[in-house]
Amino acid sequence: MSEKIEIEGLAPGGEGMGRVAGRPVFIPFTAPGDVVLADLPGGEEARHARMVGLLRAGPDRVDAPCPHFGPGEGDDRLCGGCEWLHLRYDLQLRAKERGLVEALRRIGRLDPGSYPLRPIVPSPQPLRYRSRAKFHLDAESERLVFFRRRSHEPVRVRECHLLGPGLDGLREALGPALARVRLRPREVALEWSEHAGRGAALLRAVEAGEGARRRAADLLEAVPSLSGVVLEGEGDGRRGRPVVLVGDPVLRHERVPGDPSAGLARSRPDVFQQANRPANARLVREALDMLDPDGVDVLELFCGAGNFTGRLAARATLVSAVEGQGPALDLARADLGGKNVRFFAGDSLAIASALGREGRRFGAVLLDPPRDGMKGLGPLLRDLAAPRAVYVSCDPATLARDVRGAVAAGYRIAAIQPVDMFPQTHHVETVVLLEQA
């Protein structure tokens, strides 16, 4: 059934929202003020519909530069990589602020105005900002592709307006080269270093034996801009996935793009790093300025490959950095070992709790947990008697839950700073300063 629907606003998940008979309907690729013709599924609850025609464009709609974006026919449309390529960038920023405030209200039970919310920090580059991305190999076209929205159907991308030029060029070259050397990974993660002018690849779900090593070496010969490959085999559920390195997949990035004096950081395509390096430099700066680590001992949880650790070490007396054992910790140690940094391998909450029981005290705590957050944050900060902490989050829902726990444990929210790391999507990073009440 087709309905004429006016879009009232943007839902937290990024879709436009209108109403039919008073019930909400969510429609991707729409903008506030649009009037669209949409196909609605049956059912009485809130529905997700498909736009089949734009009857009137709203004031915030812009022309999307990518031929793969938005609804349409053919296997080169409905790409799942972008959500908001049709929205003015300033509207995207306002929508992210509103989504964060709503999560804090609904989950954190924090009323708007009860905490100081700073204006969102925009990305220096709304387009062509990604230095890493994940793809799938389409055997038929021998190309690296994205999937269509909410499906496993390939979008045979000719160019991607989120990828930096070097990364986009590596994507274009690697698909045919993988076919020539007879490597068929289930997933491909690529990373590009502007500093080195080269990239590295993670090939997932491949046989990691001697034959695959030889074919990976052939791949390096075929793609000169590829410095190394990580082969990740299938795991058995007990010992994890076997990993083989071919060439040199360790890349070096400027910690602050355009400022070599800030130093270099190691990375690998199988280790988490922020994809938007210019925005990441702003994120690190905001977090450290809020933490104010000068002249104190700092506990850093979930330090990863050292994204914050290097800049922390330049200001703090001592950094105790915690990360699970693995390649991320190896990279951090290679970059920062021997400085005023002590690394601890293991579970962040368990190690921090043990340090608290031993009577260790820190002038500040910084944590950057994965998307599922850190349950138990409030009691941990209370047991550590930490005067202040900075929490960096990529998910407003788990952030709101954990901040609520910190408030219940006797901390107050001194500042909240959203940062736009992923333009053209609804995702937002947030930095929160917590202080003892």
Q: What is the pLDDT of residues 9-68, one digit of tens each?
A: 999 888 999 998 888 999 999 999 999 999 888 765 668 898 999 999 999 999 999 989
**By CB neighbour count within 10 A (0-12 exposed, 13-18 middle, 19+ buried), where does 45 fall?**
exposed
Residue-level pLDDT at 436: 95
The overall average pLDDT reported for the chain is 92
Dihedral over Cα of 120, 122, 127, 131: its sign: negative
| Residue 226, token pair as written in the block | 């590829």
What is d(CA 4, CA 6) in angstroms, rounded to the nearest whole number? Answer: 7
CATH class of the 2-61 domain in this structure: mainly beta
Q: What is the mean pLDDT of residues 241-258?
A: 93
Query: Model's pTM, two decimal places?
Result: 0.92
Q: What is the mean pLDDT of residues 288-309?
A: 96
Neighbours of 238 (CB within 10 A): 5
Q: Where are the domains of the chain?
A: 2-61, 94-124+276-436, 132-254
Residue-level pLDDT at 77: 76
Higher pLDDT, 376 or 207: 376
* Residue pLDDT, tens place only, 312-348: 999 999 999 999 989 999 999 999 977 799 999 999 9
Closest CA to 109 of 383, 428, 406: 406
What is d(CA 147, CA 117) in angstroms, rounded to the nearest whole number? Answer: 36
Residue-level pLDDT at 209: 81
Tell whether domain 94-124+276-436 is in CATH 3.40.50.150.
yes
Task: Say what percent of the chain tops pLDDT 70.
Answer: 97
CATH number given to 132-254: 2.40.50.1070
Task: Say what percent of the chain tops pLDDT 90.
Answer: 78
| Residue 46, token pair as written in the block | 């809130």
Contacts of the segment 137-140: beta carbons below 8 A, 24+ positions apart: 137/175, 137/178, 137/184, 137/185, 137/186, 137/188, 138/175, 139/179, 139/184
* Residue pLDDT, tens place only, 114-131: 999 999 999 999 999 999
Q: What is the mean pLDDT of residues 168-192?
A: 95
Same fold, 94-124+276-436 and 132-254: no
| DSSP 3-state of 17 | strand
What is d(CA 125, CA 82) in angstroms, rounded to the nearest whole number? Answer: 15
Q: Which residues of 273-326 form beta strands (DSSP E)?
A: 297-301, 318-323
Report the catalytic residues: 394
Q: Kindly tell me if the per-residue pLDDT of 237 is higher than 50.
A: no
Residue-level pLDDT at 76: 74
